[in-house]
Structure 1
Amino acid sequence: MQQAETAVEETRGQRSVQQFWVGLLEPRVLGPLFGAGLVVLAVVVIHQITGRVHLNDIYAALAQTMPAAVAQSLALTVVSFAAMALYDVMAARRVAAGRVSDRLAAFAGMIGYGISNAIGFNVFIGGPVRYRIYQSAGLDAADVGRIVGVSFLTFGSGIVVLAGLALVLDPAGVAFLKNLSPFADRLIGAAILLAVAVIMLWLAGGERNVALLGWRLPLPSAGSALAQILVGAVDIAAAAAALYVLLPADVAPGFATFLLLFVVAITAGVLSHAPGGLGVLEATILVGLGAGTRPDVMAALIVFRVIYYAIPLVFAGVSLLVFEAYRARAAVRSVSGRAAAVVRPVVAPLSATLVFCGGVVLLLSGNLPAENDRMGFLSDVLPLPFAEASHLLASLVGLMLIVLARGLYRRIALARIFSILLLAAGAAFSLLKGLDWEEATILMLVAGLLFAYPKVFYRKGNWRSFRPTPTWLALIVIVLAVLTLVGFLAYRHVEYQSSLWWEFAWDGDAPRFLRATLALVIVAAALSIDALINRPHQPRPAKAPQPVPEAVRRLIAASRDTHPALALLGDKRFMLSPDEKAFIMYGIAGRSWITLCDPVGEPEAARGLIWQFAEAADRAGARAVFYGIGPDLLTTYLDLGLAILKTGEVARVDLAQFTLQGGARADFRHAEKRAEREGLVFSVVPMADVPALLPELRAVSDAWLATKAGREKRFSLGRFDENYLSEFDCAVIRKGNDIVAFANLWRSGGKSELSVDLMRYRHGVSKILMDALFAKLLLHGKAEGYRWFNLGAAPLAGLADHPLASTWNRVGTFIYRRGDEFYNFEGLRAFKQKFDPVWTPQYLACPNGLALPQVLVDVTNLISGNPIRIFKR
């Protein structure tokens, strides 16, 4: 027994290690880690090239910065951000002409870039910020994505043109091209400019389009493209000049040379996704200028970062808050209500930002020397071990506050409680390690804000709920790397010795810094390994059917629809209304709680259950998604603020009017007669007799699956499961003694509706097998007195195909018409249309905006286990 347990533990350990390495290779992990790696490399380069530069030297250089240079840099920063605002103005005119005013587009561009430039991860940060603004004009996520794409193209075109001009104007001063002759430099620059000119001439020839994967992408006219290039060039040149005017005159090269160096620096910063290219931009400039030993150059870089990144970030943040408050004004009635409506939505992101900054303050303080006067006073009243331990613990608290900031942003109650405790502990440690009362005051104010708004943080969750994502881990690595560099600069005068690790003294700032840095690296590494090994994964369907509550079975039996029978599949969770008059069946994939169809039960209880479900998902930090819903409860979903997307149409045949007579039914009459000639016999096997037939049914099912490229679907479709099939009557077609086709029958309450779920047949038995089976099923339902026969859904059918239709409708129509290589969309609808059914629209209700693509991935993962597999036949 002990050997077996040991073997199990070893297997688990091997799986964990394997999962860790596989996780590192995922694109969503590699991207952030690559960016963090660039920053760490840049920090190492800065540390190496700065030689003996001490932090005090940088302080002195900062004090000597000329006010005139600061004013010039501020003015040039305004010019740069004005050009960035024009990025969005030109993009909005192309993407959303007439729907977005130039003023709103300029505001969105300035705010979006002000925040994303400083925070980093430009597409992921700038996109949602812009969406919040453009949403007020009615734009959807796809429109915002195109605006961001056009803006990025403008930025890129400006970089290319400026690089070409710099090479042509001042090639001799480009240090990293010194191995090439000036003629070769100019030749490269001229080739770049010539390529741009050729493209301009091509665009001037008329309307140009590019076909990509079946999509027609319109290109700008030559005039528009030239304007984009000019705006991009002004932006980058002004940004470069904002730093150039701050540099010492004896270090600054010609502006053309510096412009090319700046282009390389910001390109590297963008690729790193670090906040404002932090560390990467500085390293590139210092190496390019050969000024690693110049504290005045480092001081210029610090001033530039404050002017070009920090000030616009603060301005953009305040402006966005004002914008949100302005948008909320109409929905508020009273003064107290206005305060609550304006303040409450921003408490969570504001608290997350302040807690993150509080963590950075603690880490920075731990890496800098303490004030001698305060340490002298502290030494008279406190034992040294208390101060040493407080210094180490303050740094660890700072790291954990950065981790908890993500939980606060997601409004998790446990993150709030832990944050308050850690902020209080951090304030105490700040006082005990060096009488840093300023830090303690700030931390307690933030703790007070969290304490004052408990209802904002209402979601349940544990450690897994705010475990760092790869992006958050990369941010932690960047912060630690940069702050560690600050520490090394602060203690450059201290000669490193192994004994430093074990020196404990009131003036031992450097040893304390080393010990704290080691502890932070160990804890950060443990957090990273835990996050990568235990990263979120898609839940697997249950291998065995889950018990179905008796109240759910009662509601299924009474329902006038047949789709609730899928609750018996055993792969779903259930939520009942308090009075047990309605239930919702749902599954979980990623951060989405996905229901299947509308709630089942009484309408009033169903409406309340929709709100109950959405609230439960929100408390869990998830998004509520309602899949396969009908038109009856759309107003309730709209009241929830969800987007409604049409996903197809459901076909239902009126059995009272159905007959095999007439020209339209000739195919079915032919199929019925040919079935008789071929010896195909239809019958309905009662539920009690189905278990005895399961081996034969499985043989038919396995033969059918062998002809398909995909696997068994789940959640929204039945699968071959013996317990599931034993819940229903089963229609079969026999040839001789062998079953060649079968379908389990769904029966609604009150004989309102009859339907089939799992249909399987042997290929090659007869060409009319399916036509004959459906004809017999419809006649059987009519004979038993059923009102409707539900033929099921036709995915993506009935979507609007119009230039003014939503992006979702246009994409869905494209897939419907051109997706036959993956799934026979049009053929399925055409087959059902032969029965002259009544078509009822079917919808998906989900959060709008940039969450929509992830919702679609989650839904397809839940049904098929893979977004691509859903299209396999």
Structure 2
Amino acid sequence: MGKFVEWFKIHLSKLKTIFLISVIVIVIFELSNIAKTISLDQLSDIFSRISLKNILLMALIGLISVTPMIGYDFTLNHILEQKPKKLYVFETSWFVNTLNNIAGFGGVVSAGLRSEFYGKQTSGKKVIQALSKILVFTMSGLSIYALLSFFLVIFDDHNEYLRQYWIWLIAGGLYFPIVFCLSLFGKGEYLGDLKSSHRLQLIGYSFLEWTGVLVSFISTGLLMGVSVSVRDVVPLFIAATVIGIVSMIPGELGSFDLMMIFGLSALGTSRETVIAWILLFRLFYYLVPFAIGLILFFKNISSTINERYKGIPLSLLKEVAHKLESFLLYFTGIMLVLSATIPEAFIRVSFLRHLNPIHSRVIVVFPAILLGFLLMVLGRGVSARVKRAYIPTIVIVAATFLYSMLAGFRLSSGVFLTLVLLFVIFSKNELFREQLVYSAEWLTIDGIIMGSLAILYIIIGVYNSPKIHHRHRLPDFFLFPSEQIWVVGFIAIFIGAFFVLLLIRFLKNKRIQIGETLDESRIQHILTTHGGNADSQLVFLNDKKVFYYNDGEEDTVFFQLSTFNNKILVMGDPSGKATDFESATEELIKQADRYNYLPVFYENSEEMVMILHEFGYDFIKFGERAHVFLPDFTMSGKKMKGQRASFNKVLKEGYQFDVLKPPFSAETMQNLRSISDEWLDGRKEKGFSLGFFSEDYLQRAPIAVIKNGGDDIVAFANFMPTYTDNIGTIDLMRHSPEKAPGGTMDFLFINLFQYMRDELGLEYFDLGMAPLANVGTSRKSFTQERIAYLVYNFGSRFYSFGGLKDYKDKYATKWLPEYVLYSRDSWIGYVMIALLITDNAPVQGEKKYRGLRRFIFKT
């Protein structure tokens, strides 16, 4: 015996697993048996003859009838001297008892599950003792009713038919007195030491449980309109139940059913009615409560699994459920519109008939089209996780439910729409975004779906028009009831479009954008304290928003960004404290997500690629940034022959290089503006990724100039502080086409290299990025990179990308890859279009002078 106990302890976890698997197999088997006895068409036909109010009453009574069984588990925990959370006891008890109703097996299943749920903190022996007390008393209520029924059939001779069951009634009736006496006078640990309060509680719960069973069964018949005598039904029901329990058949399937069919038929109720009665009883007392129990069970078991695996299973499940909910809303909407568009197809084509979740006997065109389009828009709102979509979705799904009822209620339609409604209700916490920002991607998808449905409807109308002669017989697929009904639907499309726009406007809410206006003191603090990069100075152009990151004590990082549709275009790497880049990026993505935006990171380094890859971002190479290693820069050598000639030519003509320090006089600024305007030649200047002519911006750093012999400025380039110790660069580089000789740009570059090396002691000169350099040109390139190349290359009318790369290559020592990073929810084509439009948008502001800047240094 000792060896067996030891073996049992060693293999306990495996035995538990085997037990749970066995329970699952039993439940699946029994549910399949129940399913075989239930025909959806039959139930649908039954429901069609019963009012909705009575159906709801049946369901409510069934749920209330199951509730007393929960008391067993509260008493069990009192006996075990445990105090688990009441909600946990309620949920687990509901599942255990509703499962036991179906699985049966003399309470073995419920005992095993109760041991698993409530016995983990108590010794096994104590759990078994407590469970024995509970299980023994669960039948006491049935026994009491059996005794009462025995006396009823013996001393009331109005129905001789029921007397044949006296032996089963007396057998069941003797159970309670025997158990009661054993618990009262017995000495054993498994029954005799039960407290009086616990004994009375168990007897009371059992009596209420079996009262609930009787009430549920009898009320189902009465609500069906069956005329029966309660005093006849009760003894028959109790006798049939006793026989079913003695047989230990799960759910008393078969034996109970046969006895009730024969018995009630003998009492004057037609067999078909009895079968329907039993079906409805099983549905509302067994299946519906068990379905709720399954939901509660998976809620609890998923919490346990979720904690064990650090929340990943729950997040995956929520994601799947959310996508399924969005799909169901779209699917229902599409089916509604199609059923109104091609009603004949849904009657004649079995595939469509079975596919359609809304089985209505009558198709009412106007509400079907209106509700269909609204459901699709709400599907988009739910898919976008917009808070404001919650209430409208419940209202429209409920309206669809009402429509399906009025158009000819079918059980399958009711179950489907109830399922959709439950998905919506339980997914409320998944809707966290403050607004809907309708992206180009979503507009494309929804436009194709809704546009195709509208076009199909118009085509159907044209094909069915009696004014159009058809040489061939119309296919059945395109048949429509009448031209008048089609016109109603056509009007419904226009009215639906109006309500769709209203709904979209409601979901959009008041547009909130990410980022703040430039605060120079905050920016200067970050740059001087923590440093920056080659793009940091662009922030002072004030043509972009700024996102600040605060570590709890001070601002440490900022991003430059611009918003286009649902995309937040982030210019360059973040500036500031490098160790906070990951936290700052996460905060930006989180804020953008809350307001339904998708960040796109433009011109980013490999370091940002690694950070954003952790957040699920895809990336493509967008170009290469050229760096000149200044300590090795020299004019000698064969490679520099052309540059050397240009430099010497300009120098011989009397032109000089100089660096002007701010502040600059009004006369100097006017001269620079004249050169800039002459260089622009009336073309509009752009913003975002490069500087434009702004006096405030130019006053912030030195300006390199080229002067002729008359000391007139003919070309200039403003220094661009990088807030680092080893990199220098410039921004605007402009010259007078009339006054500056050929080779001026080379002359300016070479002097800048020498000045920054010799005077400033810098290591590298940043020539900026060459867009699309070595991107998408290889046959092995990523498809996204090829798309990017096509969109950006053909979309830009002003820049010669190939020429830019060749020009910078004359000086570049090394090329550093630059990337565009985007969310996987974005389409690369639309990402590139957004960047193209934003990067080429005319500068907005107080400036009267706008113009095109060339891609000499950056883009």
TM-score (norm 2): 0.49
Higher relative contact order (Cα pairs below 8 Å, separated by 6+ residues): 1
Task: Indicate the structure (1 or 2) with the bigger Cα radius of gyration.
Answer: 2
